Structure 1
């Protein structure tokens, strides 16, 4: 009965902790039962050796599982490094071997200690309760309280522990139920309060940051179009656009990607928040021909089943520093923003997104063209729709058109004379770049995404070829996030065709004419008035008070209450309880007598009070006398004072909170 109860407590706690990983319930459920191996070994060797053997085997297995990430390090460093790796992984963390190690070792250690504890009389409740609390608090901190939003798991654990005390251990636990309830309630409160007050254990670890020098992949669109039948990768999952890289910085000559990347679990928020409506998408990808460092993904990546994948937190671009290899298989889960047409119709754009509206030395022709194209638009959304129509009008996709996205190339693409190379023709690079630059000229935050449009499934699998590569611009709307537009065809993801058609019908005329560059009264270079100049970022707001500093105080208070409760119970137990108070004092002073010594022998060492108390203890075994309770306790206090005088100074400091007497029967 008691072992089934222990297994139930461990499984519930382990499955709660497993929510910090993605799809790790089976591993943690099995790890919760590893402690029973120590119970079998206990029949052959002492309990301590059995526990040591199980933990040594578990740590050795953890080392070999995590060694692949850091093969050149010693075992101790590899195991210690698993915790920082976990704290800088995605949330929930992918169930890769090196990221599972710290959680599995924790549950195995708790399982071994809990299972072996119930073999001793009187500890059936305390150690399982402590283990359950450790697992619960660990899960709450790793998931910032999201693993048990409504306290259901906490209630289940409390009910299981109460049943164990009432049914299995009717004599009562080492720690009184009231004290244990207070401790569990305090730990539960800590698990809820710390995450909600800004405590984030991931901030305790400095994530590794890598500088990656990667070229702009936009010019490669023409090469991919020329090698249209070349297979790049295969995918399984929903039909959503696959993103390769997001380009957010524009220099006037080209688009640039981020150069600094960190682990996927870095807690730094993106510079522009995710929209209010979104959906999760998960796809399985297998690289078959794609080369380079960019890792294909979907939406804003939340988890990747590769431990060495790094991300730009602002754009969500994924890279693998060592480069892609044929046969690489992984799963990526991302968030796709899905605002409704009605949401966008009245949406605004942020006024301080200077990174996404910057246009260094913008030519007047482009600025005036954007102004004329959107002069009838009333809202940012109408501006975005109008520009999509303007860029597409009378221009054609051409895989052999000159590459580039500089101001000069875009002016040729938009305004070039007939017969001029690249005039009115371009790849998705020119369409997306022209749209993004014109939108920035009228104050719309934009960026360019290089990716792939999925193809119909074949036997449940999509084959993505080089011809499927494309680029599209995105516009950011406050509260709704990044919305994709398609200036090449006007279709694709983003607002519906009906919504766009309604806007275009209202605008009536969206065919803005380019302004000639020979106007003498117009300066050749202007900065659009809609784009605000760069300003120095405001200093970050001071962080909230770190409530975690109260955790040690809370622990000391719980220990003090537990010790006081024990003394009260001993005081009510007559001479025998008084003698146990003496034994507690000897243990606290580091003078615990040997087990083979008799009570009179020990009592005589502490003067007349000790000898008289020893006599009362012997008499209590044959003729208990209630009136001797106070007398025996006075003698115990005298002995305790004598014992304390012989204790070292540091033992006197922790005298009232030392937990060792709680474990002595």
Structure 2
């Protein structure tokens, strides 16, 4: 009995149709992921699975071997794209598997606790690539290898159902159209090939193999639905019922910062609130976080049952005995694009009306919440905006009459506690300590900067990485850090999550997703919770109260000789930016002498060569700069120290993703580089020798010689570069596109 083999051409068409259908149904994830960074990695995963399957079937491999090869290729792709410790940059080893396991662990935490739409951070990209890669493999096996494409529809339907069940709104219509078109293409292509391959009827071919495949696909669809429908919750409140927003298991089922990050990462801001009657810009608080866990970060504490938010007057927040002088107002808040079980409020609420029934106010946490699912509607808040003076806050004394949990600093590392003590060493009162900690973050000379892309973790302690190495992040990192530092010096603190005041639009203020924010509230006896904001925003969104109005700036200290850093000239004459593809000169295409002549072939060959040349341009530019600088360094001529310094900064940028801040002195920049890269002592000494040579070259009078015992740039630079390369191996993608040749904005996107 002979076995009819499907022609290679028909197999290629069916394989392509299976891959296209898998990609088509994956478009539904645009409804639960806030940006498109996941699309290209997922497309590569599906293409690799389809390509290996086609290769195996063309070479007549044993079918289980084809599936094994597809899985191995998928793992190799994940290692190449998402790990920095793969063997040769792409082969998965124990270290790479450890990285992937960690990323998948983070992704599952987002899956359990995130609120769609969530940002497409690397952990979520790994999860989507793995999940949709496996889906593409199943579709390929069922529709192409087994020849029953209709059964593959069960898997595709499950993929469509996942984002449809999780998205807060209806998925875009075109995602359903794309999925339907992909499935139709799969049926059409596979169906025609079955007719070409066999004259038997479809019913005759639906034998025991088809029954097994239908059952297996059904089980896989159900299991996939069980796993993926754990992605995201609207929020679980303690003590709630099993319906609506509530959950009887206590605690909270979301990470507030996940939702915050998702709003800030949106490409187009969405209007959330329109506010009228607000007498002055102030923060709109949605929730406060009480508990700090070193492993998981800040979390909501246990809520009390509270009081009816509609009663008037509402009780003062716990521990507040008097409201300091400040305006009072009746503020109307219209949630035009906001729906949540947390009702954002300004200042100290005296009464809230109009939002519907079964809303509670918790004086301990200062939040208004509900446990019943209901539509958003405009509401009115009678609000007091107290503004105690610095003198009043300095004089505030006595026991902290709030929950001791707000002072809990257990689990904070000794290094962080020591930093808090050093920052506040000259601060006599709790208010002065809080103000000193805020200045620590907002003073640009300390190196902190606002960025939605945080620096990569190197120690496993995210808080220490931010405070001592990365110093780059958004409001989550700043508020979390200041809250911990406050507790470390004995000041009760909590983290508030909500919104900045937005922008004016006539007589109203408009608050959008761009205004999502986190800040710190510190407790002062009698006056209650007082706002501090350590995030160094530069766009005017900060609404600092009067007690934090900055004093006249102190004069900048006069730099000691050799400490004032001047910009160094670029030794290379190569332009600092890579030419855009549109600026590249296209090679001339000779006209063919006759139809079918050589002209068309030259044109076809020139296009991929031009694309290849443009793709290699960043690597070529970096290599040109390196060789030019090293030649100057080896020669020991004028400018050798500057060339060595520039090469060291670029090498650090290639490996860390960000260039050290050059606004300070050469020595302070070098110190930051050594700490960030965690260089060993001998390498740090080489960097110090190089800095000494740079200072001498820039500032020393003519004829003055360098101090004895200081290594020349030609000796110091190789040792420093070798330590950088040993401590942070470059993944292949950063070798091909070195981050030092990218503008800052593109460099941050490449890093994320």
Specify which structure has the bigger relative contact order, considering alpha-carbon pairs within 8 angstroms and separated by 6 or more residues: 1
TM range (shorter): 0.3 to 0.5
The structure with the larger Rg is 1
TM-score by length of 2: 0.36
TM score, norm. by length of structure 1: 0.40
